[in-house]
Amino acid sequence: MATLSIAEALREAIREEMRRDERVFCLGEDIDIEGGFGGAFTVTLGLSKEFGHERILDTPISEIMIAGAAVGAAMTGMIPIADVQYGDFLFCMMDQLANNAAKMTYMSGGTVKVPMVMRAPVGATTRGAQHAQSLEGFFTHIPGLKIICPSTAYDAKGLLKTAIRDNNPVVVFEHKLLYGSKGNRAEKAALSPVGEVPDEEYLIPFGEGVIRREGKDITIVANLLMVYRAMEAADILEKEGISVEVIDPRTLVPFDYELVIHSIRKTSRLMIVEEDTKRNGWGAEVAAQIAEDALYYLDAPIVRVAGYDVPVPFAPVMENYVVPSASRIAEAARKLMKS
């Protein structure tokens, strides 16, 4: 067993897969310049020592090219892991990801495969509206893309390895406050969850959520940073006699509905917590799907706690207000218990 941060776990996943398969390579801006940062959050730091700069490819600041090159390389026999410094810049890449990556296999009647990985950091960190967005929901809307969001070191390694071996484009959303990056790339408000990661190889299949905490009154489904906020809320609520079950779906596409339904059969109350804005988010989809398939297990309306429908403001007092906090989750849970 090794104790790793998420940044380290992701790096180990990349390292192992690059050792295993020569087709795997990384590309992105500033991903491993000598004396540089190792990507915006140190994930690829030092990898060029082992693999050289041909396989750890530092690119110009050209997001359309990065995403498109990943598509082209993937279609023709390579397995690219593309990096974007902040998830917000995925919008620059949107055409290549939505129109090419997601559709090539389909448009070719299945004759073409696009085994690429797109890694993107998300989450609000007092950098203002263009370095803050959580875009998971946006991407879940596009058929053809698998969407994963690891919130622990164990999951980060196991899921990324699975992503690299998948024959389809996978978008990995990583949270800036969860990386546990060290040194001068560390985030001020970071949680730095470190976790045990087995020495032997393991893969985590997509579409399998986990129960982070068992409870019997309310089921909370949350991803990335919100898993931790939900756990915090659960601690608060426990003291008040409200028992919360926290589910981390780990992958949004595919999504483990079975696990959620199993849980609400017990709790009969469902809350979904996401950092992204509320309107048309992945939480809305989960709510709708559960309403379609399992409404009869519920004793109360489904509740969503999400970012307010505004861009992320800079001022910390406003940012903290917009991003769901443990106390906001707890308050919503109390209300839910009364309904």
Ligand X SMILES: Cc1ncc(C[n+]2csc(CCOP(=O)(O)OP(=O)(O)O)c2C)c(N)n1
Tokens of 224: 């990335």
Footprint (CB under 6 A) of ligand X, residues 252-311 = none
Indicate which of other proteins, ligand X, none lies near residue 318 (CB less than 5 to 8 Å, by partner kind).
Answer: other proteins
Task: Tell me how far apart the alpha carbons of residues 294 and 337 are, in angstroms, rounded to a whole number.
Answer: 19
Verify binding: residue 32, ligand X, rule CB under 6 A: no
Residue 85 found at the interface with ligand X (CB under 6 A): yes
CB of 248: closest distance to other proteins in angstroms? 27
Residue 130-169 contact track with other proteins, rule CB under 8 A, x = bound: xx--------------------------------------
Judged on CB neighbours under 10 Å (0-12, 13-18, 19+), 109 is exposed
Check binding of 89 to ligand X (CB under 6 A): yes
Binding range to other proteins, per CB under 8 A, among 33-41, 202-210, 217-225, 235-243: 33-41
Pick between residue 257 and residue 308 the one whose CB is nearest to other proteins: 308
Choose, by CB under 8 A, the member of 12, 29, 83, 174 that binds other proteins: 29
Please indicate whether residue 131 is annotated as part of the active site: yes
Which of the following is catalytic: 53, 131, 175, 262?
131
Among 151, 153, 112, CA closest to 134: 151
- Residue 295: name its binding partner from ligand X, other proteins, none (Cβ under 5 to 8 Å by kind): none
Taking CB under 8 A as the rule, does residue 288 contact other proteins? no
Q: Closer to ligand X at the Cβ: 28 or 215?
A: 28
Chain-centroid distance, C-alpha 183: 23
